[in-house]
Amino acid sequence: MPRGIKDIPEYNRPREKLAEKGAQALSNSELIAVIIGSGIKGKNVLRIAEDINKILLKNYSNTTFEELKRVEGIGNAGASRIAGAIELTKRFILKDEIRIKSPVDIVKLVSGLKSKKQEYFLTLTLNGASNLIQRRTVFIGTLDRSIVHPREVFADAISDHAAAVIFIHNHPSGNTEPSKDDISITNRLVEVGKIIGIEVLEHIIIAKDSYFSFKEHRLI
């Protein structure tokens, strides 16, 4: 492995190679190197890219910013660029390929929530055929009526021209039973959805080893 990017022949450097031959001609590591841009003293950009590629190969869709930042030579800026590229790729791919048919489909899609130490509230917007339009984190923190405001929850669904929406939040405690606030908030959102014409299909509470479906328990 060349010690620095300048040790690589110009025609074979990732950026130059992409410009001449197109992105499809680059290896995974070379594409990552293009995104990162530069290495550090003693570790060129391709070596850093190879370390990142190993992480992505293990669990691409759930790779986190924190995991990327731990790679020697990546830093906050590089980790942000890679995490952003991952999310953008997931959004374009998932938009066309994911159809929500059951609570299990939802749980698989947000499996990363199982290990979170804080509560996350997510929305999935769907078209009339139950195909995923977009997945978003609405907020992070304990659920209560002052935070989960219908305006924020439905704003993106309206922008997406969604026919329906699904809510998901996690319980770091491991207990998936809904609290009184969980039920109250869900009922409120369902009613708002009826008024604006966006159906609330489901609300899933997810924990490390289980989940709770409001629909399966006839709470929606």
Token look-up 């499809």 returns 24
Half-sphere exposure of 176 (CA within 13 A, CB side): 17
pTM of the model: 0.58
pLDDT at 178 over 90: yes
The model's pLDDT over 192-215, given as tens digits with 9 standing for 90+, comes to 999 999 999 999 999 988 999 999
pLDDT at 1 over 60: no
Sign of CA dihedral 184, 186, 192, 194: negative
Q: Are 158 and 124 in contact (CB under 8 A)?
A: no
For residues 203 and 89, which has the higher predicted lDDT (pLDDT)? 203
Rounded to the nearest angstrom, the gap between the alpha carbon of residue 85 and the centroid of all alpha carbons in its chain is 11
**For residues 137-148, average pLDDT:** 68
The 3-state DSSP class for residue 25 equals helix
Cα(43)–Cα(54) distance, rounded to whole angstroms? 16
Cα(52)–Cα(74) distance, rounded to whole angstroms? 9
Q: What does the pLDDT read at residue 200? A: 96
As given in the structure block, the two tokens for residue 57 are 């190969």
pLDDT at 93 over 70: no
Q: What does the pLDDT read at residue 98? A: 77
The model's pLDDT over 64-81, given as tens digits with 9 standing for 90+, comes to 899 999 999 998 999 999
- List the domains of the chain with CATH numbers: 5-96 (no CATH), 103-213 (3.40.140.10)
